Every structure is written in C-alpha cells, then in structure tokens.
Amino acid sequence: MRLRLKIWRQESNEITGRMESYELKEVNEEMSFLEMLDVLNEQLMQQGIRPVEFDHDCREGICGQCGVMINGEPHGPLQNTTTCQLHMRTFRDGEEIYIEPFRALAFPVKCDLKIDRSAFDRIIQSGGFISVDTGQAPEANSTRIPVPVAESAFDSAACIGCGACVAACKNTSAALFTSAKITHLAKLPQGKTEAQERVLHMVAQMDAEGFGHCTNTEACEAACPQEISVLNIARMNWEFNKAHIMRK
C-alpha cells in the first residue's frame, strides 16, 4: 500500500518545528506502525535526510515508551492499543497519516516525536510507593487480600506510563496517571498506612508539573492502552478529600 505521511519535525527543543510530508510507496499491511517508520527512516537516510526520531523500545505494548498522535488520536485510531501494536492493516491504501508528538506543557518535545515525560517520574517520586526497605517484609501470606481487591488493585497498577491520557485530554490533565498509582496503593492493606500523605504529595506534584485540571471528559480512559478506568480518578478525589478533611 502507498501512504502519504505528514510528520512533525523539530531538531531540538530550542528550535521551532514544522510538519513535513513524505511518501512511502511499498508498505506491507502486516507491518506494525513503528516498522513502517523504520522503513521510512531507511528511505530518508538514502536520500540524505535526517531520520525521524521517535520513542520506542519493547514493541510489544508494555514498556510505554512509544506513543505518538496518529491522525489526531493518541496511539492512533484503534482503542486501547499502543502505537507499537497498531498495524498498517488499520489504514487504507493511499491514506494520509498525520503523526505528531504528544503535546503538553509538562511534556516538552525533545526532537521530532520524542518527548520528555520525566514529570511522571517526579509524580511517583513524590509518594507513589510503599515505604518499605529491603529486609523488612513479613511473610507474604500473613495478609489476606480478597481476590476482588487484588484484581482491582492490579487493574489500577497496570498503567504503563505512556502519557496517552495526557495527550487525549483537552486540559492535558495527568489525573488518570496519578490516580492509578494512588488507587493501586490505596486499595491494598500494605499501602493504606501512607494513603493520606501520598495523595496530598502526589496531587501537589502533579500540579507543580503544570498539568491541567481534570474535567471528567473521560477521553483518557478511551485512549488508555491498558484500559485504566476513570473510576481511579474518583478514588483519587475521594482519598484527597478525605485527607484534606482529616488533616490536622
């Protein structure tokens, strides 16, 4: 199949970028989207053009490093799919495809489609953990955790940190990412001890990074490759309100 690509090119953070058009003549529909970009890059290098920089690593949908806007949607038109798992059979022959980096003030573009998502790391650093040192753990089966609790904690913990939720949000809110970690740890007995401190610190850090307000449009859930539920946001709000009221 043939494709016309419109790709965001920006050599570095300091330089303003622009959309560039490229044409690919022989694309196999069994290719993954990133393999299509590999092919494009080989073609660009033959023409002496700087290849397109994009983030990717595991190419099996779990590392969370890939992620671009494809035709105006994070990770492309298929729901709950990462960019690397998107295959070219989803597109039509001759289609024009727009490829842009995720955009948010908190996610500065580094080069072409590469962005800086270290804001997420700092949110986790502010409290997204259980404070337990190596060697302090009690016998694993000493705490019983009912299956529904363990399963729903897993659902929240499944987040891969790709940033599609922020990209999908008209307010570039990181509520889904932040709340998924808060909820994962708040649901488990091990994490309850620090729940109050955690939610206050993580929300403060989320705000400090320059993410927007969540207005509950639920676009984040629709874009999330791991189908993280917006109810995590509700749980975060609950934990936050509780912490505020109970705070001394």
Question: What residues from 90 to 129 belong to the interface with another protein (CB under 8 A)?
Answer: 98, 100, 103-106, 110-111, 114, 116-118, 120-121, 124-126, 128-129
Nearer to another protein, 41 or 196 (CB): 41
Closer Cβ to another protein, 38 or 196, answer by number: 38
> Which 143-202 residues touch another protein, going by CB under 8 A?
143-147, 150-151, 153-154, 157-158, 160-161, 168, 170-173, 184-185, 188, 190-191
Our CB check for another protein shows the closer of 3 and 184 to be 184
Q: Which of residues 34-53 bind another protein (CB under 8 A)?
A: 34-35, 38-39, 41-42, 45, 50-51, 53
Site mask, another protein, residues 54-83, x = CB under 8 A? -xxxxxxxxxxx---x-xxxx---x--x--
Question: Of the two residues 62 and 196, which places its CB atom closer to another protein in the complex?
Answer: 62
Kindly state the tokens that stand for 141: 């089966």
* Least distance to another protein, CB of residue 156, Å: 9
Q: Which is nearer to another protein, 2 or 130 (CB)?
A: 130
Q: If DSSP codes are grouped into helix, strand and coil, which group holds residue 21?
A: strand
Q: Which of residues 227-246 bind another protein (CB under 8 A)?
A: 230-242, 244
Residue 159 Cα distances to 154, 156, 163, 206, angstroms: 9, 7, 10, 16
Locate 3 and state its tokens: 């494709």
Which one of 21, 25, 140, 247 is in contact with another protein (CB under 8 A)?
A: 140
DSSP string of 75-137, one letter each residue = T-SSTT--GGG-BGGGS-TT-EEEEE---BTTB-EEETTEE--HHHHHHHHTT-S----TT-P
Single-letter amino acid code for the residue at 230:
V
Task: Collect all residues with Cβ–Cβ distance below 8 Å to 17 and sequence separation of at least 6.
Answer: 8, 9, 10, 11, 109, 112
Whole-number minimum distance, CB 159 to another protein, in Å? 9
89 binds another protein (CB under 8 A): yes
Residue 212 interacts with another protein (CB under 8 A): yes or no: yes
191 to 40, 114, 127, 152, 194: CA distances (angstroms): 46, 34, 11, 14, 6
Nearest-angstrom CA–CA distance, 213 and 174: 8
* Residues pairing with 9 in the sheet: 18
Say how many residues touch another protein, by CB under 8 A. Answer: 123
CA distance 78 to 64: 16
Q: Closer to another protein by CB, 23 or 183: give it.
A: 183
